[in-house]
Structure 1
Amino acid sequence: MNNKIKVIAFDADDTLWVNETYFRDAEVAFAKLLSKYETKNKIDQELFKKEIENLHFYGYGIKGFVLSMIECALELSNYNIKPKTIEAILEIGKEMLEKPIELLEGIEEVLQALQGKYKLIVATKGDLLDQERKLEKSNLLKYFHHIEVMSDKKEKDYQKLIKHLDINPSELLMIGNSLKSDVLPLIKIGASAIHIPFHTTWMHEEVTEQEKQNEDYKTLASIKELPAIL
């Protein structure tokens, strides 16, 4: 591994703790609520389309997801949806926000092993209030020097983070589950990245085989393998 690394940045959702699983469960519940209007496949497709349309307005996170569900329900029902169903959609969102934090296996031990050797930070995207709540509930805050909740994770966003940290790109290592958000943009700006896949990935975060080619990054099966390769 690059021995210049001074800062290790961790993605939060599906890298530190379980997240995407709850969105999949919410999609199933949403499709059941709208089953009289459309097939599950069509509902899933329309909801995804609506989420992508709305990223520009709401950004990433549960609240934007709930607003997209409501909008999608109105359109799929031809604006005949009952207030009780909208209430049920809001309830899905509240349940998601109240989920307990389920740390991924080995996270705390790895953070303990790395603390003091590197500056550890969180670089995640999503809703600020929700991510702060999750970090608080996770009991992991004590390991991190800095928390950055980003509106997006493109090259320019990471360049801004590097400038803020006052380091060179070669001194940053990013750890995350998304090739699109946590790995490929880093490689392109001269930083290092390690991919630790999660068992489920949001369609918006998927990349093509062509995008993966000729990029210099490591993939680990588990976060527990990290200290040994640094």
Structure 2
Amino acid sequence: MRSVIAVAHRGDPYRVRENTLASIRSALARGADAVEIDVRLTWDGVPVLLHDDTLRRLWRIDRPLSALSLAEVRSLTGPEGVPTLSEALLASDPYRVMIDLRGATEESVRTVVGTVRECEAADRVFYCSSAPAMLLVRAADPAAEISLTWTTLAPPRPVLVDALAPRWLNYRFGLVSRALTERVHRDGLLVSAWTADTRRTMRRLIDDGVDAITTNRVDTLTSVLTGART
């Protein structure tokens, strides 16, 4: 039977603070096939896991990440706080990791791709974001696996597809239908859907033929997938 990849959104955020090592480990323990993480650079150029551009929402510290060194981030968030990308890749090994490049620039993308190479994780990492960020990834790594985040029903232009050579199109779940997945599959690409958190939505996406589902409730998704296979 066709397999659907369960992608844990920022780890296991309903149980453990998102984008932390504990959250990654919790998601993998609950059956995730892959973990999606958000990566930004500190002031001194170290890739770390953080969705927002400040520490305010998660850590109640109203400081921009871009103005903080890694040492300052450590002192503000503690030993179990914001992890580096290198630490996250080690904690997730040997599972797949989807890196969402937040606030991507040419410098940040080169740094992230370089870190992935240094950690010998290129074979299990894939990148997701909008077309401008993915073009930067393709320039930094001609062999990178790309999941192009696409926010309209109209397909990406052929010239963009040719430039990016993505493996995936990554859609918000509300856009996905059987007709859409069939069209994308005919074009030789895979379909990823985000962020589905109810059993009803998960089942619909499975029926629509998606290849991966990103969720905040990976234990629920694995339960639904197990039921779908029986």
> Could you say whether these structures have the same fold, taking a TM-score greater than 0.5 normalized by the shorter chain as the test?
no
More helix by share: 1
The TM-score with structure 2 as length reference comes to: 0.35
The structure that has the greater radius of gyration is 1
More strand by share: 2
The TM-score with structure 1 as length reference comes to: 0.35
Q: Which has the higher contact order (CA 8 A, sep 6+)?
A: 1
